Amino acid sequence: MLLAFSIAPAGPGDDDSYAPAVAAALQVVRGSGLPHDLGSMFTTIEGEWDEVMPVIKQCVDAMGPYGDRVSLVMKADIRAGRTGQLTAKVDRVEGLLRE
């Protein structure tokens, strides 16, 4: 599965930036060893259900110190038996654009 998620604490930090909280969550994602991509609005992670969902929970837990509430938005592309889709989907579209 590919799972795109956006996560944020209830309010920005002292410098009006979510960057420290996002960095804490991204550190969890990187530590998972799963393929991932950081975008300006969403982070996408690739793996099986049982691999991805614990990482999402750990990201929520990592946000805890930055606010008393955490907002989480997720969108998943679930295709059994597929791997490498984090880049393959983009590669297919880019190939069509080159034609």
In this structure, how many other beta carbons lie within 10 angstroms of the beta carbon of residue 69? Answer: 10
All domains of the chain in start order, with CATH: 2-98 (3.30.70.930)
Instruction: Tell me the per-residue pLDDT of 6-60, one tens digit each, with 9 for 90 and over.
Output: 998 886 556 677 888 889 999 999 999 999 999 989 999 999 999 999 999 999 9
Identify the band that residue 68 occupies on the pLDDT scale cut at 50, 70 and 90.
Answer: confident
